[in-house]
Chain A
Amino acid sequence: MALQGTGAPPRTAAPVAALSAISPKGTERTGHSSRVIAYVVVGLLCVFSLFPLYWMLENSLRSESDASNSVTFWPEEFHWSNYSTMWNSLTYPFHIFLINSFVMAGLVTIGTVASCALVAYGFARFRFAGREFLFAVIIGTTMIPYAVMMIPQYAMFINVFHWGGGGSAFGYHNLYQFLPQIVPAFFGSPFFIFLLRQFIRGIPYDLDEAAKVDGAGPLRIFWTIILPELRPALAAVTVLTFIGKWNDFLGPLIYLTDAHNWTIELALNSFIGRYSTIFNLQMAASLMSMLPIMIVYFIASRQIIEGVTLSGVKG
């Protein structure tokens, strides 16, 4: 498609490595003074990225009146109790919301990774009439706005499948409300199918042939040959899907109407509404919702950055 242009698919993980081989370390060689200027500008603007986070952290530890007086950059006194106050200030304690977010994003990730890998394998390795047409459908689907599916999907999930509010299932709370978030993930996400298919096409076909000669079926080839080669790409898809779903707001806002089912983002929404001027607690609550993402980022920043980079190079 037009987004992709032409060009042979690069080998797994090759683009980044291959590209840096073309131009070892950075591209443009420039004079000393311009490098210093670049360094200073980039460094100063880093403050714009980092300072809000620092400010959030230190304000979350201030007293309420201290947080309102923000010309200083250090708390007068550390109020660690803000976190426990915040934790229990909604109808349900915050760990309920964290667990909800975690389970929802986790199941969505499992569904997306499994289905996208298999579908991408199908597109990359098997020939059939209509394959190119279906692939064009995938590319087209990435551009469809959620809004145009939102209302009929809602009608379908609530009226036809009865996954809506009210009633109870699995005990006291209506866990069915999570299904509209989770089930579609098991049918693949077009963008990641596209990305993984590009990756698989870069894996040499000889390996498949050799396995086929040994009598391996398609699933066995997928499991023993494709999957190990695909690991870096799958890591990126895993992390990006998880974070994307963790941050999702509109979907949960529509479906998770039972307060016990709220994700951390929805809880935060309610928190901001209820304690609109109590900034120290607000910052503590927001930090709690960011923390898991930051942890994921510290653990997997390499995979994330590579994944995003590849989406740009291949997209």
Chain B
Amino acid sequence: MARTEALPLVRRTRARATKRERREALTFYLLVSPFIVGFLVFTFVPMAGSILLSFTSWDFIHKPIWVGLQNYQNLMSDQDFIQGIKVTLSYAVMALPTGLIVSLVLALLMNRDIPGVNVFRAIYYMPSLLAGFSVAALWIFVFDNQHGILNNLLATIGLPRVGWLTDPNWALKSFVLMGLWGIGNTILIYLAGLKGIPQQLYEAASIDGAGWWARLRHVTLPMLSPTIFFNLITGLIGVFQYFDQSYVMTNGGPPIIQGDQIVGSTRFYMLKLYNDAFRSREFGYAASEAVLLFIFILLITLFVIRSSALWVYYEGNVVKGK
């Protein structure tokens, strides 16, 4: 194990050593104090605050009123809340595997001795840096029914136009497609992982007569599993907080009728939470949604971490760390 052993070479007296230890501890605390203070003020207290607020009704102006579990009970019958979960989960189910697989395939293709691979890498990475609001503006135009490039291309080859952002059956899939534009980050991390696989393993596999599929299945994927795991975890944490694009591009629409209710087909969980807090100013209600989101992310992350024992091959890291 690599701990930074600050071994005092000569320990003259016990008193001196403890003095030194005390000084070291003091230095440590001084250096780390920004984090400790920041954690308490900006993370811990707000988290505790969210939990407390979730049991209240609060409009931000008057005093919060204690309502017990009322918020949580109301959520259970809130169509918009259930829709938020549905939309976020279906997006996660579509976007995460698609992104992970497409970027893996691209990384595998780029992980060869092809000329200009650095240029390709830089080009694929660029859009993921732009992943902000300006990208949403671009894709509103790309997806536009009348003027967008996608529909104009479809029309040119004689296919019917698609309501990319206006058809409830398409809107979420359009977000998935747009998400693929920003997978450069994932590709880059895969490429780093692939570089860590020792050449000898492939040579040994080839000598044993393994074809490309067998090499992929028995060498590349197991050796890459810690990297896949990393990408999966960061992807999961990100996907449940999806907000910017749904806010500007559809604002939760287009609407669909569900039973006797009208709900938004891209009404992501975070959008619902934001609206409840900052539009409807029901801060207690929104806090209960935040708490549930946190618990959900915590559970699913723990679940994936626990499951990693089954499919993540950690020998790979020893080789990488060397």
Structural contact, B129 and A265, CB atoms closer than 8 A: no
Structural contact, B227 and A312, CB atoms closer than 8 A: yes
B83 CB within 8 Å of chain A: no
Interface string of A251-282 (1 = CB under 8 A from B): 00110000000000100110010000101001
Instruction: Give which listed residue, B6, B111, B243, contacts A205 with CB less than 8 A.
Output: B6
Q: Which of A33-41, A77-85, A88-96 contacts B (4 or more CB under 8 A)?
A: A33-41
* Tally of B interface residues using CB under 8 Å: 129
With a CB–CB cut-off of 8 A, which chain B residues contact A201? 2, 4
Q: Can you name the residue of chain B whose Cβ is closest to the Cβ of A240?
A: B129
Of residues 128 to 165 in A, which have CB atoms within 8 Å of B's CB atoms?
Answer: 128-129, 131, 134, 137-138, 141, 143-156
Q: Can you name the residue of chain B whose Cβ is closest to the Cβ of A180?
A: B42
Total A-B Cβ pairs within 8 A = 338
Given contacts A155-B60, A205-B6, A249-B132, contact A6 B314 (CB under 8 A): yes
Taking the closest CB of chain A, its distance from the CB of B208, in whole angstroms, is 15
Of residues 282 to 322 in B, which have CB atoms within 8 Å of A's CB atoms?
Answer: 283, 286-287, 289-291, 293-294, 297-298, 301, 305, 308, 314, 317-322
Taking the closest CB of chain A, its distance from the CB of B154, in whole angstroms, is 11
Q: Which of A115-123, A171-179, A230-238 contacts B (4 or more CB under 8 A)?
A: A115-123
Q: Which of B67-75, B196-204, B252-260 contacts A (4 or more CB under 8 A)?
A: B196-204
B89 CB within 8 Å of chain A: no
A170 CB within 8 Å of chain B: no
Q: Which of B11-19, B159-167, B183-191 contacts A (4 or more CB under 8 A)?
A: B183-191
Q: Can you name the residue of chain A whose Cβ is closest to the Cβ of B238?
A: A145
A166 CB within 8 Å of chain B: no
With a CB–CB cut-off of 8 A, which chain B residues contact A155? 49, 60, 283
B193 CB within 8 Å of chain A: yes
Interface size classification for chain A: 35 or more
Structural contact, A268 and B133, CB atoms closer than 8 A: yes
Bound-state Cα–Cα, A184 to B35, Å? 10
Structural contact, B121 and A305, CB atoms closer than 8 A: yes
Taking the closest CB of chain A, its distance from the CB of B174, in whole angstroms, is 14
Taking the closest CB of chain A, its distance from the CB of B31, in whole angstroms, is 3
Taking the closest CB of chain A, its distance from the CB of B291, in whole angstroms, is 7
Structural contact, B308 and A2, CB atoms closer than 8 A: yes
With a CB–CB cut-off of 8 A, which chain B residues contact A205? 4-6
With a CB–CB cut-off of 8 A, which chain B residues contact A265? 132-134
Structural contact, A282 and B321, CB atoms closer than 8 A: no
Structural contact, B202 and A27, CB atoms closer than 8 A: yes
With a CB–CB cut-off of 8 A, which chain A residues contact B319? 22
Structural contact, B38 and A188, CB atoms closer than 8 A: yes
Structural contact, B32 and A52, CB atoms closer than 8 A: no
Taking the closest CB of chain A, its distance from the CB of B54, in whole angstroms, is 9
Q: Can you name the residue of chain A whose Cβ is closest to the Cβ of B109?
A: A38
Most chain-A Cβ atoms within 10 A of its Cβ — which of B29, B226, B294, B320?
B320
Structural contact, B148 and A22, CB atoms closer than 8 A: no
Most chain-B Cβ atoms within 10 A of its Cβ — which of A2, A48, A123, A293?
A2
With a CB–CB cut-off of 8 A, which chain B residues contact A216? none
A7 CB within 8 Å of chain B: yes
Structural contact, B42 and A279, CB atoms closer than 8 A: no
B1 CB within 8 Å of chain A: yes
A19 CB within 8 Å of chain B: yes
- Interchain residue pairs with CB less than 8 A apart (23): A6-B318, A16-B192, A22-B196, A25-B113, A26-B113, A28-B220, A42-B106, A49-B126, A52-B138, A59-B141, A70-B149, A71-B153, A115-B35, A125-B4, A131-B28, A147-B241, A151-B277, A186-B34, A187-B37, A248-B132, A269-B133, A277-B147, A290-B134
Interface residues, chain B, CB within 8 Å of chain A? 1-2, 4-6, 9, 21, 24-25, 27-32, 34-39, 41-43, 45-50, 53, 60, 106, 109-114, 117, 120-127, 129-142, 144, 146-149, 152-153, 156, 180-181, 184-185, 188-199, 202, 212, 215, 220, 226-227, 229-231, 233-234, 237, 240-241, 243-244, 247-248, 270, 273-274, 277-278, 283, 286-287, 289-291, 293-294, 297-298, 301, 305, 308, 314, 317-322
| Known contacts A16-B195, A148-B46, A272-B136; 13 further A-B pairs (Cβ under 8 A) | A5-B226, A20-B195, A22-B198, A28-B202, A41-B109, A71-B153, A147-B290, A147-B293, A151-B290, A184-B38, A279-B147, A309-B189, A310-B192
